[in-house]
Amino acid sequence: MLNLFYHPIYTSAISPHARFPRTRYRLVYEELCSRARSRPELEIRFLESGILSGEYLHLVHAASYIGAFLEGRLTEQEIRRIGFRPWTPEFVERTLTIAGGSIGALRKALESRNGGAAAGNLAGGTHHAFAGHGEGYCVFNDIAISVQVARKEYGIQRVAIIDCDVHQGNGTASIFADDPLTFTYSIHGAKNYPFRKERSDCDVELPNDTDDAAYLIALRSTLTDALARAKPELILFQAGCDPLKEDTLGKLALSREGLRRRNAIVFDHVAYWDVPVVVFMGGGYADPIERSVACHADVFEQLAMHCHGQR
């Protein structure tokens, strides 16, 4: 049984006037419910994300930044850099609920007794958040918080972060730049945001319009070595679907099938290492948004099948 965390606030707390495709969270949830209804072999349990308590933010983020965000004291420039406007108390609740979903998923994956140690959050993967500031639709870095909780509460030492969102995981790379036990892998568009890249342990940079074949060769030829260096006890997968050709912010040219093959390569590696995996939704901004929704749902469907295969 795959545990997936979700909450309606993922969509409802974003202004309907925002350019951001707020409905995608609800649509991915509904799509997965519908697939699970029609396919009994897809064993998915949805759990409601809870609010993450503030103390966990301090494992990663600067106290001054945490306080400014929670209390509504960010400057207009800092809010613009994050990209969600306006700041509202409900947006704060959403931010903490998404992080709560990620930590909930981490706990489920690590506490699973019967194998199939996997779980996911139908949001999150907020990899552009740095210790002291947010940007690119990311406030707090739920991936980084997950690493620290795994370390502090579960005795996990070595973690690999596989970031397949089309945008480099710059915040994550920066947070773990000096941490030899956390391996950061990012495969992304060379000529896309963030235009000033940070240094991950392994960065795979792809030219604009990269197609399925070139992408999958690049992934396969780097991921095996990366994980051999990482020797992970836990894998965190940022499964952004914005490398899709129809994505408005992606600049690459993968098909839905190409993304499915990408996911399969990642899950094959997870199976090889036989370690728990947590999946974060990441970006997806296709027009129409249903194209992204189908790909996000594919990720979690494939995770459910991976989970099933591990029992």
**Which residues are near Zn ion by CB under 5 A?**
165, 167, 240, 242, 283
- Euclidean distance between CA atoms 182 and 230, whole angstroms: 7
**Shortest separation between residue 302's beta carbon and Zn ion, angstroms:** 19
**Shortest separation between residue 186's beta carbon and Zn ion, angstroms:** 11
Residue 43 near residue 87 (C-beta atoms within 8 A):
no
- Cβ proximity to Zn ion: between 143 and 307 the closer is 143
Report how far apart, in Å, the C-alpha atoms of 138 and of each of 67, 98, 171 are: 16, 11, 9
Query: What residues have CB less than 8 Å from 272, skipping those under 6 apart?
Result: 227
Residue 144 near residue 198 (C-beta atoms within 8 A):
no
- Cβ proximity to Zn ion: between 56 and 237 the closer is 237
Q: How many residues are given for the chain?
A: 311
Q: Where are the beta strands (DSSP E) in the chain?
A: 2-6, 44-48, 118-121, 159-163, 182-189, 202-206, 234-238, 277-280
- Cβ proximity to Zn ion: between 233 and 247 the closer is 247
**Shortest separation between residue 243's beta carbon and Zn ion, angstroms:** 9
**Closest residue to Zn ion, Cβ-based?**
283
- Euclidean distance between CA atoms 311 and 298, whole angstroms: 20
**Shortest separation between residue 112's beta carbon and Zn ion, angstroms:** 28
- Cβ proximity to Zn ion: between 31 and 163 the closer is 163
**Shortest separation between residue 7's beta carbon and Zn ion, angstroms:** 21
Report how far apart, in Å, the C-alpha atoms of 196 and of each of 62, 109, 171, 185 are: 22, 34, 11, 17
**Shortest separation between residue 268's beta carbon and Zn ion, angstroms:** 23
- Cβ proximity to Zn ion: between 233 and 242 the closer is 242
The token pair at 75 is: 């400057």
- Euclidean distance between CA atoms 217 and 86, whole angstroms: 42
**Shortest separation between residue 167's beta carbon and Zn ion, angstroms:** 4
- Cβ proximity to Zn ion: between 165 and 233 the closer is 165
- Cβ proximity to Zn ion: between 187 and 307 the closer is 187
